[in-house]
Amino acid sequence: MGILREIFIWWDGNTWGTRLTLWNQGRFVGKDEFGNRYYEQKKGVAPGDKPRRWVTYTDLAEASKVPAGWYGWLHHTVDEAPSDESYQPRPWQKPHLANMTGTPEAYRPPGSILAGGHRAKTTGDYKPWRPE
């Protein structure tokens, strides 16, 4: 199943077409802590006079799995890739967390039906609108 999976299932990693494109047009730039690999166009420029940059994911292709430093590099916000030795995250940058929406680990605010809680009673200053 491994070879057929690589040929036909693009969302589960690299297909043969992706590998061929990487070999022919891509230059490996670095790897993040999640195993995602980042590439830049070897020669020429894309529209906007900048080389194309792209990522290949280790598992499912989920854009929220790209850390902040690499996101900035992918979108040409910064020129220096986070894999370079001189890169230091800014003090305000938090560690990356994947988007958990739609999973059992998703945030459930207090009072949410899915959290099993009860909504707090309203205070006395609340007056509902009633049509006359």
In the Cβ-directed half-sphere of 10, how many Cα atoms lie within 13 Å?
2
Q: Is residue 104 part of a domain?
A: no
In a domain, 94, yes or no: no
pLDDT tens column, 68-100: 888 888 898 888 888 765 667 788 877 777 788
pLDDT band for 127, please (50, 70, 90 cuts). Answer: confident
pLDDT in tens, 93-119: 777 777 888 888 888 887 777 777 666
**Token pair belonging to 128:** 């509902």
In a domain, 106, yes or no: no
As a whole number of Å, the CA-based R_g of the chain is 22
Kindly give the pairing relationship between strand 37-41 and strand 53-56. antiparallel
State the DSSP code for 34: T
* CA 16 from centre of chain: 23
Supply the pTM of this predicted model: 0.62
Residue 54, beta-bridge partner list: 39
22 lies in which domain range?
Answer: 2-74
In a domain, 89, yes or no: no
Domains in the chain, number: 1
